[in-house]
Chain A
């Protein structure tokens, strides 16, 4: 590879070479990890394996882990140059999703707290 530029300029425009983005192995690894996370979620929710007040936090952590597994092993979001734009768009999407969910929960919790003469939920 003394002249790597040659490699990238050697192709006729419009010709798409075959670029395998994934392998059977990566899907299988992803499936195994996702199954582990799913089973762990159901076990945590139905037992007292975790400290009970910490169960919601544990479930959220497991869900985020599983979403990460899906993104990397199934949707193939990696650190490669082809993923850069996808990652940036995902980051923006995550920001909006975070704002919508936490903003709604925060505002309505405030409203509920400030509401007078309501029976306790």
Chain B
């Protein structure tokens, strides 16, 4: 019996004493271990964001007589930004899944979509920031705006670095092909990109929707 036909018969509910990750069944696969390590990094990044969220929550009412949240935020733009990031998260997941299933062309198509949507998000955010600074609502205006630019700007920097990493990974796929090491890097990158979308859920809820309302 070959491994392939045996694997087809693995029951979905693996007995606990044989399950990897619960002390049985031998060491976990490398991609599981690598993804776990990267997951720890993502969680530490989340903890850094939590400090910025806490700073914003504490300082958001200290406007020092300057512009307040409802005067500054354009919720229509925020909605478009949110949809860009959400769809890019989707195309990223589909792209990496295509790569894992050995379809490099499909991966490249979805990587291009992911990059375009991420770049659109960054463009809208940069335009918003430039408009705010031009109207005198820059980060030095009030504690509220300092914490706003720090929180949202840090997220934007993460998105920008994610786009750079995506270009780097696409180059690796083109040069090296879909070998195991490249696939692991792609998996880690998709974790990073999905995590950025989770942070953005917090940003648009706490900063834009709750701030723009009250």
- The reply to whether chain A is a binding partner of chain B is yes
A-B pair count, CB < 8 Å, reads 153
Q: Do the beta carbons of B50 and A96 come within 8 Å of each other? A: yes
Asked whether, in the complex, the Cβ of A100 is within 8 Å of the Cβ of B47, the reply is yes
Residue pair A101, B50 in contact (C-beta under 8 Å): yes
Chain B residues whose C-beta falls within 8 Å of the C-beta of A93 in the assembled complex: 43, 46-47
**A70–B198 CB distance below 8 A:** yes
Question: Nearest CB to that of B195 among chain A residues?
Answer: A75
Would B194 and A42 count as touching, CB distance under 8 A?
no
Output the residue of A46, A74, A121 with the most chain B CB within 10 A. A74
Chain A hits for B43, CB < 8 A: 89-90, 92-93
Among listed B29-37, B113-121, B154-162, interface-contacting one: B29-37
Question: In whole angstroms, what is the CA distance A114 to B25 when docked?
Answer: 58
| Given A16-B30, A104-B58: A97 in contact with B46 (beta carbons within 8 A) | yes
Pair B57/A105 contact, Cβ less than 8 Å: yes
**Who on chain A is nearest to B57 by CB?**
A105
Asked if B153 CB lies within 8 Å of chain A CBs, one says no
The yes or no answer to B182 lying at the interface (CB within 8 A) is no
Q: Which of A6, A23, A101 has most B Cβ within 10 Å?
A: A101
- How many chain B residues touch A (CB < 8 A): the figure is 67
Contact A20 B100 (CB under 8 A): yes
> Does A84 lie within 8 Å of B93, measured CB to CB?
no
- B9 CB, min distance to chain A CBs, angstroms: 6
Which residues of chain A from 1 to 52 have any CB-CB distance to chain B below 8 Å in the complex?
Answer: 1, 4-11, 13, 16-20, 22-24, 27-28, 30-31, 34-35, 38, 41-42, 44-46
Number of interface residues of A (CB under 8 A): 61
- Considering the complex, give the chain A residue whose CB is closest to the CB of B22: A81
Q: Name the A residues within 8 Å of B133 (CB-CB).
A: none
- A84 with B3: CB separation less than 8 A: no
Identify the stretch in B123-131, B134-142, B203-211 within 8 Å (CB) of chain A at 4 or more residues. B203-211
Q: How many Å from the CB of B39 to the closest CB on chain A?
A: 5
Binding site for A on B (CB under 8 A): 3, 6-7, 9-11, 14-16, 18-22, 25-32, 35-36, 39-40, 43, 46-47, 50-51, 53-55, 57-58, 61-62, 75, 79, 82-83, 86-87, 89-90, 93-94, 97, 100-101, 180, 191, 194-195, 197-198, 201-202, 204-206, 209-210, 212-214
A-B contact pairs, 26 of them (CB 8 A): A1-B9, A1-B10, A4-B11, A16-B180, A19-B31, A20-B100, A31-B90, A41-B204, A41-B209, A42-B75, A56-B213, A67-B201, A71-B198, A74-B93, A75-B195, A81-B16, A81-B21, A82-B28, A85-B21, A86-B35, A86-B39, A90-B43, A96-B50, A101-B57, A121-B61, A121-B62
Known: A6-B6, A38-B79, A81-B19. 8 other contacts (CB 8 A): A4-B11, A31-B90, A42-B75, A46-B213, A63-B201, A75-B194, A82-B32, A86-B35
